[in-house]
Structure 1
Amino acid sequence: MLNDFWETAPPAYKYAVFGGMALTTIGIIIIVVGAVTSTPQLTFVGLPFIGVGLLAHMTSLGIRGRSVRKALKEAEKRSNGR
């Protein structure tokens, strides 16, 4: 039976995805506020938030790939055992 990946995804994947989205959003908001208020220091403060958010997304891709490989390996063992 095929399941939607989000239903069977590990909690670490979900936390990494939502954490990455939140950090990226915070960084974008800080940069926009810095640009609107003409505060160059504030625009540079937002860049690390975006960077860490992107790293969290990359981490979530690694977690997802490991989970999928593990599930495929288990499915292959089940099919070979029959």
Structure 2
Amino acid sequence: MLNDFWETAPPAYKYAVFGGMGLTALGIIIIVIGAVTSTPHLTFVGLPFIGVGLIAHMVSLGVRSRAVRKALKNADKRNSGR
């Protein structure tokens, strides 16, 4: 496995990573806008976005670990066949 993981990563991993980053960034922007405008309700609206973004990151870690385990299992099968 000499390739960079990002090149061989499954599309679900890429979507989960970018989705998590986007939702987290959106939540931070909403919280900053709420803090600057002194709107406490807007500040609390951004928290679920950050939470869902963090969950998406955790899902991407699971997808990545599953892909790595699958690749290692396939490599082990190839090496044991020799």
Same fold (TM over 0.5): yes
TM-score by length of 1: 0.99
Alignment of 1:3-14 (within 5 A): 3-14=3-14
Q: TM-score, normalised by structure 2?
A: 0.99
Cα shift at 1:4: 0.1
Structure 1 unaligned runs (5+)? Answer: none
1-side partners of 2:7 and 2:81: how far apart? 26
Match of 1:77 in 2: 77
Q: How many residues are aligned here?
A: 82
Identical counterparts, % of pairs: 83
Runs of 4+ in structure 1 deviating by more than 4 angstroms, as ranges, are: none
Structure 1 residue 65, shift from structure 2 partner = 0.1
Instruction: For residues 26-78 of structure 1, give each alpha carbon's deviation from its aligned partner in whole angstroms, at most 9, with x where no partner exists.
Output: 00000000000000000000000000000000000000000000000000000
**Alpha-carbon distance in 2 for matches of 1:65, 1:53:** 19
Give the superposed CA RMSD: 0.6
Aligned to 1:17: 17
Cα offset for 1:19? 0.0
